[in-house]
């Protein structure tokens, strides 16, 4: 296995919450229905994960927000599920494994994504 891409992103939780309050449709645009019901800190982490994923993929245009979804395994471990435009870009790059780590503390959510062949 070889590393194809790495992405990292941070998101100020309060500022993200203000954006969601100011523009209610933003929640629906950024998140799948399953993601959208999560608490604010979790949403900020998921937004950071999607941004980190886009960076790891080379930040191409045309990726749809709903084509990357952060789901949690029974253990609580986050997993990125890729489909549609995001899956197509990952396939184009030869991505076989996607690793994601989320964290939130001191008012900041962060995510790191590593793509491997």
Contact by Cβ (8 Å): 111, 70: no
Quick one: pLDDT at residue 85?
97
Among 112, 113, 109, smallest CA distance to 38 is for 109
Q: Which helix (H) or strand (E) holds 84?
A: helix 84-93
Q: How far is CA 108 from CA 23, 39, 54, 63, 117, in A?
A: 20, 14, 19, 25, 30
Q: What CATH number does the domain located at 3-116 have? A: 3.90.470.20
Please report the pLDDT score of residue 73 as a whole number: 95
Say if residue 44's pLDDT is above 90. Answer: yes
pLDDT at 106 over 90: yes
Question: Which pLDDT band holds residue 67 (cuts at 50, 70, 90)?
Answer: very high
Q: Please answer whether residues 105 and 1 qualify as being in contact, where contact means their C-beta atoms are separated by less than 8 angstroms.
A: no
Supply the pTM of this predicted model: 0.96
* Whole-number pLDDT of residue 60: 86
Q: Locate tokens 């982490």: which residue?
A: 45
Closest residue by Cα to residue 100 from 91, 109, 88: 109
CA–CA–CA angle 80, 84, 85 (5° rounding): 95
């Amino acid at each position: 296995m070889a590393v194809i891409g790495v992405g990292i992103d941070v998101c100020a939780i309060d500022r993200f919450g203000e954006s969601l309050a100011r523009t209610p449709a933003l929640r629906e645009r950024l998140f799948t229905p399953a993601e959208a019901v999560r608490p604010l800190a979790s949403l900020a982490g998921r937004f950071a994960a999607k941004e980190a994923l886009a960076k790891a993929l080379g930040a191409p245009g045309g990726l749809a927000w709903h084509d990357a979804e952060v789901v949690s395994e029974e253990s609580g471990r986050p997993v990125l599920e890729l489909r549609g435009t995001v899956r197509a870009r990952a396939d184009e790059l030869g991505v076989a494994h996607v690793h994601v780590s989320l964290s939130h503390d001191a008012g900041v959510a962060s995510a790191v994504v590593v793509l491997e062949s």
